[in-house]
């Protein structure tokens, strides 16, 4: 079930049967006995820190949809330790100060067991210290390197989505080998962008290339043409990663500025998350490349568990809502909510979690995790969790725009993403 300040949604028998599949309904009677019993018990309450407003709103909308679908699946399978799971949703405004206030509300007013869900790195960085003070397990779905860098605390974990440093490390050799060795990067002027700024240059240099310029753009900018003359003339590759409501404008203006003489383009799909690839003005992207955390378009060789995940979340073969083809998902990131909730379930079951008194046991149980197999709980692919750094590592996808669709060209292995530990949270006190 999912609860916000103004609504309470409980998965009904029909939705549960849909999740289970009609074919399995007849064999699920023992499950229904557990389900009915669990409804009388106090639910496990997960505080969902949602970017409902602010520059992260598109992500927040899809993070919530994915989380609700995951909770419905988990509850249909008997919940966690025989208890149903309830999402308690609060808007953080994509704002660091508000983010910390939301965690306070989860812990002291909403009686939440844990906090979960945050994407934008500046909100994570502003919220995590309060999670540490509250001793509230804080599971983030952010990608930022701030967790694995040691910036945060033992109560903050990122077990369901990979971080920018690992992503860039896996992308750099493809960029220099396939597209060009002289790179100019365009990135948002806040913490997430700084992860790209700080990690791309050494990765490109290690791969035999050179970063000629780094152009930072405020994430609230609405027009970008004035920044493009800063791109050096001898640039062979433009590496772009932008976020916020004006990403479509950014990409269109980039095409208008260069016309047919544009350098090679390599983007992180953040620049086009929730944007229809067939939007007018994006034709120039055909033949360019993007990093994707999880493919937006259903690939021809997709396994059944990937299709089941997409069906549960409600996205079609193009990665748009099944009820509105113009409502494009944030597919490259939102899978992290699904996978993180399944990690929370596994951690609570391994620790025998029964109440908030077991929060430390939960963190320790997750720290003890290692390999995670691809499947219904991990549809993005196999994972390797590093308990010392509280960071998960996984495959990365490079897709090419072909006929207005993103088709996977290369899958980087987990080994391609690994780097030396920068922290050992397990050596820190709670």
In a shared domain, residues 79 and 197 = no
Among the residue ranges 52-56, 205-209, 258-262, 371-375, the one predicted with the least confidence is: 258-262
Predicted pLDDT of residue 284: 87
- Three-state DSSP state, 49: strand
In a shared domain, residues 56 and 119 = yes
26 burial level (CB within 10 Å; 0-12, 13-18, 19+): exposed
Give which of 131, 128, 122 is closest to 104, Cα–Cα: 131
Higher pLDDT, 220 or 287: 287
In a shared domain, residues 381 and 271 = no
Q: 38 pLDDT exceeds 70?
A: no
238-280 pLDDT per residue, tens: 999 988 778 889 989 999 999 888 899 999 999 899 999 988 8
Predicted pLDDT of residue 30: 41
pTM: 0.89
The answer to whether residue 82 is domain-embedded is yes
In a shared domain, residues 255 and 403 = yes
In a shared domain, residues 112 and 32 = yes
In a shared domain, residues 386 and 402 = no
Q: 283 pLDDT exceeds 50?
A: yes
Domain that holds residue 269: 164-292+395-417
The answer to whether residue 311 is domain-embedded is no
Q: What is the CATH number of the domain that holds 43?
A: 3.40.50.2300
List beta partners, residue 49: 90
In a shared domain, residues 285 and 367 = no
Among the residue ranges 113-127, 158-172, 268-282, 344-358, the one predicted with the least confidence is: 268-282
Please give the distance of CA 422 from its chain centroid, rounded to a whole number: 22
In a shared domain, residues 193 and 94 = no
Distances in whole angstroms, Cα of residue 430 to Cα of each of 136, 162, 338, 355, 419: 10, 24, 27, 17, 26
Confirm if 61 and 48 have CB atoms less than 8 A apart.
no
The answer to whether residue 225 is domain-embedded is yes
Q: How many structural domains does the chain have?
A: 2
Higher pLDDT, 284 or 325: 325
In a shared domain, residues 261 and 399 = yes
């Amino acid at each position: 079930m999912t609860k916000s300040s103004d609504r309470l949604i409980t998965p009904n028998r029909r939705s549960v049967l849909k999740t289970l599949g009609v074919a399995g309904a007849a064999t699920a009677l023992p499950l229904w006995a557990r389900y009915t019993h669990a409804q009388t018990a106090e639910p496990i309450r997960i505080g969902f820190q949602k970017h409902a407003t602010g520059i992260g709103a598109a992500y927040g909308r899809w993070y919530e949809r994915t989380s609700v679908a995951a909770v419905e699946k988990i509850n249909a399978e008997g919940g966690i330790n025989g208890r149903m799971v309830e999402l308690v949703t609060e808007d953080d405004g994509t704002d660091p100060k508000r983010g910390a206030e939301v965690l306070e509300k989860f812990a002291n007013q909403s009686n939440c067991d844990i906090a979960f869900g945050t994407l934008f790195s500046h909100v994570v960085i502003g919220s995590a210290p309060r999670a540490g003070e509250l001793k509230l397990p804080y599971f983030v779905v952010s990608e930022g390197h701030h967790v694995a860098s040691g910036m945060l605390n033992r109560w903050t974990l990122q077990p369901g989505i990979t971080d920018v440093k690992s992503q860039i490390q896996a992308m750099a050799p493809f960029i220099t080998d396939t597209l060009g060795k002289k790179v100019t990067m365009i990135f948002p002027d806040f913490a997430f962008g700084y992860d790209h700024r700080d990690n791309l240059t050494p990765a490109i240099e290690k791969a035999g290339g050179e970063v000629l310029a780094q152009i930072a753009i405020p994430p609230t900018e609405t027009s970008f043409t004035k920044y493009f003359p800063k791109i050096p003339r001898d640039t062979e590759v433009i590496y772009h990663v932008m976020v916020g409501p004006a990403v479509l404008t950014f990409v269109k203006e980039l095409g208008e500025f260069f016309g047919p003489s544009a350098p090679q383009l390599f983007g992180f799909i953040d620049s086009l998350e929730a944007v229809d690839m067939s939007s007018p003005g994006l034709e120039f992207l055909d033949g360019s490349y993007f990093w994707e955390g999880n493919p937006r378009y259903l690939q021809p060789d997709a396994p059944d568990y990937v299709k089941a995940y997409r069906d549960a979340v409600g996205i079609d073969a193009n990665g748009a809502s099944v009820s509105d083809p113009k409502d494009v998902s944030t597919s490259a990131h939102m899978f992290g909510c699904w996978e993180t909730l399944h990690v929370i379930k596994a951690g609570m079951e391994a620790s025998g979690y029964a109440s908030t008194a077991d929060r430390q046991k939960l963190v320790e149980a997750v720290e003890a995790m290692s390999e995670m197999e691809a499947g219904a709980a991990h549809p993005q692919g196999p994972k390797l969790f590093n308990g010392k750094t509280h960071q998960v590592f996984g495959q990365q996808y490079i897709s090419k725009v072909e006929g207005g669709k993103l088709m996977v060209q290369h899958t980087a292995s987990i080994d391609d993403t690994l780097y030396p530990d920068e922290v050992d949270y397990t050596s820190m006190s709670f």
